[in-house]
Every structure is written in C-alpha cells, then in structure tokens.
Amino acid sequence: MKLFELTRNLMAIPSVSGDEEAVGFFLRDHLESRGWTVELQAVAPGQNNVIAHLNETPRVWLSTHMDTVPPFIAPTEDDERIYGRGSCDAKGIIAAQITAAEHLRSEGIEDIGLLYTVEEERASTGAKIANGHPLAAKCEYLINGEPTDNDLAIGSKGAFRAKIKTKGKAAHSAYPEEGESAIEKLLDILEDLRHTKLPSDEFFGETTVNLATLDGGIALNVIPPMAECGILIRLTTAIEPIRDALETIIRDRGELEIMSYSLPVKMLAVDGFKQKVVRFTTDIPHLPNWGQPLLLGPGSILAAHTKDEFVLKADLEEAVRLYVGLVKQLI
Ligand SMILES: [Zn+2]
C-alpha cells in the first residue's frame, strides 16, 4: 500500500478517542501481512495500543497516536493535499512512519519498532499503559510523531489541567444580602488570574492560560451557590511554581482541583535537522521508559483539530525521508 493510499485508508476508519479498536485491527492486519510481529496491548475494553516490531528487541521506535479529536471528517484529496480528520494529526504520520520503516527494512535495517497509542487526545491513557511494556526497557530512541512542520522539536511544553471552584450560598435573588454569589467570587478570581504573569522559562517560553469552560448557578432567580472554571495551562516550568501562583491568586475565595498534568520535555537535538520548541504536549511525557525521545512529523499543528485539517502530500513524502535519515543517524 502506497503512502497516500495508506493515509486515506487509515483516515477512512473513524477513531475518535475511545473508539480506536477498528483502526488498531486494521494496522495489525496490515503490518502482519507484511511480516511484522504485532501485539495488541489492552488499555480498556475496545481500546488497544498497537506494538509492532521486526527483530526481538528493537533499539529505535517510531510512534504516534491512533485517536483523533471529534468529529470524524472523511478523507478527500486534490493534487497537493489530503483533507479530513487525522490527515496531519496523526494518521498521515502513521503512514509516513510505516513507509519509512519498510524502506529501512528494504535496506536491511530491522532494529525498529512501531508504537501506536490510544487516547492521546484526552489523557494519554494508552501511552501510560505502553510505558509499562517490557520492550520499552530495550528501546534507546523513541521518535514520536506530531505535526511539527517536519522540523525536529527539541522541546515541548507541558499541559496542566485544573478546575477553579467556588462556593456561595443560595438565596432568593430578590434578597441578595441573604446569599453569597459563587459566580461573582469566581469572576474576581479569574480577573486576577488574567492579570497575573505566571512563571515562565527561557528555553520553553511563556506559560499561557486558557480559561476553557465555565459552569455555575442553578436558576435566574437564585443567588448561585456554586461555580467552576476549567483551565488548561501550557506549562513551561515545574508544576509547583504554577500551583503556588494559582493558590496565591485564589486565596480563601475558592479551591484548586488539579485534574492532570504533563511536564515540559527536552528532546534530543540531531545535527542537520531544523530545530524548534513546540507549544503543545504529546505522549512523550508519559513514555519515560522508552529511551531518549525525539519529535518530528509532517503537517502543521495549526491545521490539526480544525474542520479544515489537511496535510501536504509533499510533506508526507518529506517526512518519510526525514524518518529514514533520523533512524539511520541514531543507529
Ligand atoms: Zn496529535
């Protein structure tokens, strides 16, 4: 199966996070038919990571995720581009990595493995399970794929997910002095947060905050007894200075509930590749047992997660060359 055809075939199978079973079966069948040893590693009912290799204990692995954000968008194409969900994030990457691996194999290089995870777009549950796989211990280099415009990412920001929650006291809204508004408290906290510069890092850049979701109140004529805001912070430092800054802002007006976080990661710089720091996070913080991480992939993160997601065909072909070159340099 050729590069573009494989990309389209992977994209044609819906695999929004939580629904990756069919695309995993497709990959298993495709790779087994080419002589790879393939294992489906159970993550949850209907969710399996795909772990494939040629020799027994490969030193270099190519990896990315099989899930996509919603909604499914079927693949289409023209002469230059492939459009649709997963084109750049990350099924085009899977196709480019498999094509590169087959190319390396045709030159006698079999010291390679393929790791495709579930749930990267939610909480990297697949990567967390994959981290415990026995083959991880033998892996020296993990080349992860995310859309980096085919540049080698030498750093990626972390992600800190949390809720700021406030409590008030419900009362008839005609008698506000009888109650206490959780929404007004929350708005005060958020206003302070918007005007606070959080600690940042010279290498990784600025720490940014998305006030992502708001929830609160019960009815128009009731003083709201509860409110909460979901936030996602792109982390460039350790977790403690950010947590401390948030707690200083919140004081006794509410509480901070940490949902999950991944730390910023420095990755291997390799001569001859264009390098940069990317602002998004990946599976890499959850795969520490898989050796030294590298990050490179075709397509733009700005096209990922949009309704117009696409990847340039020329970038897919370039990614194959880059993956081949990278593996050869590492081996
Ligand atoms: Zn991705």
Domain boundaries in the chain? Answer: 3-156+265-330, 158-262
Catalytic residue among 120, 121, 228, 309: 120
DSSP single-letter state for residue 253: S
CATH fold of 3-156+265-330 reads Aminopeptidase (3.40.630)
Nearest to 115 by CA among 179, 49, 167: 49
Give 76 Cα–ligand 1 centroid separation in angstroms. 20
Coil, strand or helix at 272: coil
Give 119 Cα–ligand 1 centroid separation in angstroms. 10
Nearest to 228 by CA among 209, 237, 219, 215: 215
Range 158-262: architecture per CATH: 2-Layer Sandwich (3.30)
Give 304 Cα–ligand 1 centroid separation in angstroms. 8
Protein residues with C-beta less than 5 angstroms from the ion ligand 1: 89-90, 146
Active site residue 39: no
Euclidean distance between CA atoms 323 and 15, whole angstroms:
24
**212-226: burial string, b at 16+ Cβ within 10 Å, e else:** eeeebbeeeeebbbb
Give 54 Cα–ligand 1 centroid separation in angstroms. 25
Per-residue pLDDT of the chain (331 residues; tens, 9 = 90+): 799 999 999 999 999 999 999 999 999 999 999 999 999 999 999 999 999 999 989 999 999 999 999 999 999 999 999 999 999 999 999 999 999 999 999 999 999 999 999 999 988 999 999 999 999 999 999 999 999 999 999 999 999 999 999 999 999 999 999 999 999 999 999 999 999 999 999 999 999 999 999 999 999 999 999 999 999 999 999 999 999 999 999 999 999 999 999 899 999 899 889 999 999 889 999 999 999 999 999 999 999 999 999 999 999 999 999 999 999 999 9
Give 44 Cα–ligand 1 centroid separation in angstroms. 20
